[in-house]
């Protein structure tokens, strides 16, 4: 059974069909990418998977359980974490506090135990801190745990977001344009980090990305959509050599670079 299975997923906004009968599978332990031109419907797919949008039709199964009509916090609890194209950090909180917030879905303390500072609540808070610090160490910025998030350079703010996603203890990590705004060295480290997340933490990765060099290096399989319709899937070479992909996406990219 696939870790994630999407069957005929369709999303309409009035007369606009943003995602049209999309079907794909994400195998456990894999790294998969979803690519396509701007406006192709990529982020709409992620928004459906994580409960931000309600699909017009189709099915989404995560570990065999339907995600349709599930709330975002419950989907996170099930084991699906997500980062966003635009950073969504709490800028007035420390780096550590941002990551600790990601463990909210794994906490058990009730209101009164928190107010009364019971022994069980203190033990849980200690555990949350330890896990969060371990996640920061994993992404390479533990030394900045007490810095205000707003004061970090952009690349490190991205790492805070990745650490917070890891703190939810996911089985599947959705990355929406994780390389956006990163320099060449940071992108190389991102590729290394994604492999470590998959290999060391046994977390499956599904990403949206416009940097084709990164996509080709990190992805074992690539799905291509255009106007919400899947037009190709396969290995990096198969996708790169597919005439439909060249015409719909890669060709447009080359034209923009030469303009």
User: Which DSSP string do the residues of 86-145 spell out, in sequence order?
Assistant: S----TTSBHHHHHHHGGGGG----HHHHHHT-HHHHHHHHHHHHHHHHHHHHHT-GGGT
The stretch 150-163 carries a mean pLDDT of: 94
The stretch 170-196 carries a mean pLDDT of: 94
- pLDDT of 149 over the 90 cut: yes
> Judging by beta carbons within 10 Å of its beta carbon (0-12, 13-18, 19+), is residue 21 exposed, middle or buried?
middle
Asked if 60 contacts 206 with a C-beta cutoff of 8 angstroms, the reply is no
The stretch 66-93 carries a mean pLDDT of: 91
Q: Looking at residue 118, what is its pLDDT?
A: 66
- pLDDT of 197 over the 50 cut: yes
Q: Beta strand pairing status for 80-82 and 229-234?
A: unpaired
The stretch 174-194 carries a mean pLDDT of: 94
pLDDT band per the 50, 70, 90 thresholds, residue 258: very low
Number of CB atoms found within 10 A of residue 167's CB: 25
- Alpha carbons 259 and 256: distance in angstroms, whole number: 5
The stretch 226-230 carries a mean pLDDT of: 93
pLDDT band per the 50, 70, 90 thresholds, residue 106: low
247 vs 82, which has greater pLDDT? 82
What global pTM score does this model have? 0.88
In percent, how much of the chain has pLDDT > 70? 90
Domains of the chain: 1-79+170-259 (3.40.50.300), 89-168 (no CATH)
Alpha helices (H) in the chain, listed in sequence order = 42-49, 72-78, 95-101, 111-116, 119-139, 154-167, 184-201, 212-218, 236-240, 243-245, 251-258
């Amino acid at each position: 059974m696939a870790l994630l299975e999407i069957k005929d997923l369709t999303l309409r906004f009035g007369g606009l069909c943003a995602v049209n009968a999309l079907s794909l599978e994400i195998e456990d332990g894999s790294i998969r990418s979803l690519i396509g031109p701007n406006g192709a419907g990529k982020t709409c797919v992620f928004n459906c998977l994580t409960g931000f949008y309600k699909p017009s039709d189709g099915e989404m199964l995560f570990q065999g359980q339907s995600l349709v009509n599930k709330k975002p916090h419950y989907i996170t609890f099930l084991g699906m974490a997500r980062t966003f194209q635009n950073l969504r950090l709490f800028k007035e909180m420390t780096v550590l506090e941002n990551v600790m917030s990601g463990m909210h879905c794994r906490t058990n303390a009730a209101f009164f135990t928190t107010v009364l500072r019971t022994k069980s609540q203190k033990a849980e808070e200690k555990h949350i801190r330890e896990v969060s610090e371990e996640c920061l160490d994993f992404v390479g910025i533990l030394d900045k745990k007490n810095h205000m998030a707003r004061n970090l350079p952009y690349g490190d703010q991205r790492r805070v977001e990745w650490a917070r996603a890891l703190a939810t203890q996911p089985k599947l990590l959705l990355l929406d344009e994780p390389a956006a705004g990163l320099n060449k060295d940071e992108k190389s480290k991102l590729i290394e980090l994604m492999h470590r997340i998959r290999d060391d933490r046994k977390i499956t990765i599904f990403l949206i990305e416009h940097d084709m060099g990164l996509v080709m290096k990190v992805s074992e399989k690539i799905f291509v959509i255009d106007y919400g319709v899947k037009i190709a899937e396969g290995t990096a070479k198969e996708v790169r050599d597919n005439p439909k992909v060249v015409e719909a996406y890669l060709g447009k990219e080359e034209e923009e670079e030469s303009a």
